[in-house]
Amino acid sequence: MHRHNGPILYRPHAAHRHPRRRRWVGLPIWLALAYAATGFYSVQPNERVVVRRCGRALPGLRGPGLHFGLPYGLDKIDRVKTLELKRIGVGMALSDRAVGRRAGPRQAEGLTGDRNLILISAIVQYRIADARAYLFAISDVPALVEDVAASSLSSKIASMNVDDVLTVQRIAIQNEVVRASQAALDRHGAGVLVTSVSLEGVAPPQEVARAFRDVTSAREDRQRTINEALGYANRLVPKSRGEAQRMLLDAEAFSTEIVRKAEGDSQRFTKIAAQLRRDRELTAKRLILETMEGVLPRLKKVVVGGGADENLDLGLIEAEQQDTQR
């Protein structure tokens, strides 16, 4: 029998080493799958995504839903909310407006065309129109929008007098600032669309505010007086026209009446002239009797013939007439 006199070494069997080796071999596969899964991303309904692959932006935008690209490090996504209205303050901070704080004088001062100093501030609303330009063309788009709108606002009020700025030209100022700001942003390729400009505060400095209020009050009184005068004129003119029309109609009716009466008198005179030619004496008597009837309508008249008695008693005739009436 052979005897081994040296130290006894323990060597694990190969079957005991293989399971651990298999576990280490599967780990890279899981890591690769996890790394590949980083290429999945989702886009919300109000978002659009620009994908940059190895630093270069891919054409087109990714819409809402689940998308897959290259893993992290190869693809980078930039999310933009193209449907969201963004706001920026000009001459004021939106945080100041939220708490009701007035804008600082240096921030909101403007010079009008007639060299008057006013405090003016506005809020600009805009949205993203070109996501690629918005992300890569300009480093700070909100600051650019604020600067462009402030420049457009200052340029506009510098061409107007202070009375128009404070009163009737607010809408015109807002529309012009929108147009000028959009043109400047398009020249810079900012990729935004200005939707509205709202003047939040237009007022004179505190030192002259009372004088401006007096001027405004006087202007309002003048306008009210003008409106009252126009209202009175609007009521009086139709009435005068109606009176004139009525007088014209009355004159036309009177003229027609006179003409017809003259025509009737003319026809009657023609008939009387014809009767005079036929029997002058009888016609003359009839005319005398008709004239007496018209001149003395209330007096009793007795007509006697040429052969009547000279001693005619008119009292007997009256008694006979009374008996007849009874």
Task: Give the integer Cα–Cα distance in Å for 214 and 219.
Answer: 9
Shared domain for 131 and 75, answered yes or no, is no
111 lies in a domain?
Answer: yes
* 8-state DSSP, 117: E
236 lies in a domain?
Answer: no
Q: Are 149 and 124 in contact (CB under 8 A)?
A: yes
Shared domain for 59 and 144, answered yes or no, is no
- Our count of domains for the chain comes to 2
Choosing from 186, 204, 222, the residue where a domain stops is: 204
User: Tokens 């659009």 identify what position?
Assistant: 48
Half-sphere exposure of 322 (CA within 13 A, CB side): 6
Shared domain for 122 and 73, answered yes or no, is no
166 lies in a domain?
Answer: yes
Looking at residue 9, its pLDDT comes to 46
For 179, phi and psi rounded to 5 degrees? -65, -50
Shared domain for 139 and 74, answered yes or no, is no
225 lies in a domain?
Answer: no
Task: Give the integer Cα–Cα distance in Å for 313 and 217.
Answer: 97
Residue 152 CA, distance from chain mean position: 23
Shared domain for 91 and 70, answered yes or no, is no
Choosing from 204, 236, 251, the residue where a domain stops is: 204
Looking at residue 178, its pLDDT comes to 94
Shared domain for 75 and 98, answered yes or no, is no
Shared domain for 49 and 104, answered yes or no, is no
Residue 181 CA, distance from chain mean position: 22
Shared domain for 182 and 166, answered yes or no, is yes
The CATH number of the domain holding residue 143 is 3.30.479.30
137 lies in a domain?
Answer: yes
Looking at residue 67, its pLDDT comes to 67
Q: Are 121 and 113 in contact (CB under 8 A)?
A: no
Shared domain for 95 and 196, answered yes or no, is yes
- List, in sequence order, the alpha helices (H) in the chain: 14-37, 94-98, 105-108, 131-136, 141-157, 162-166, 170-188, 209-278, 280-295, 314-325
Looking at residue 266, its pLDDT comes to 87
Looking at residue 2, its pLDDT comes to 47
163 lies in a domain?
Answer: yes
Q: Which of 109, 270, 295, 137 is nearest to 203 (CA)?
A: 109
Q: Give the SS3 label for residue 215.
A: helix
Shared domain for 127 and 152, answered yes or no, is yes
CA angle 160, 214, 118 (to 5 degrees): 35
Residue ranges of the chain with pLDDT lower than 50?
1-2, 4, 8-10, 12-16
Shared domain for 128 and 35, answered yes or no, is no
* 8-state DSSP, 72: B
Containing domain of residue 90, as a range? Answer: 86-204
Looking at residue 323, its pLDDT comes to 58
Shared domain for 194 and 177, answered yes or no, is yes
Looking at residue 193, its pLDDT comes to 93
Choosing from 33, 52, 80, the residue where a domain stops is: 80
298 lies in a domain?
Answer: no
CA angle 243, 249, 250 (to 5 degrees): 90
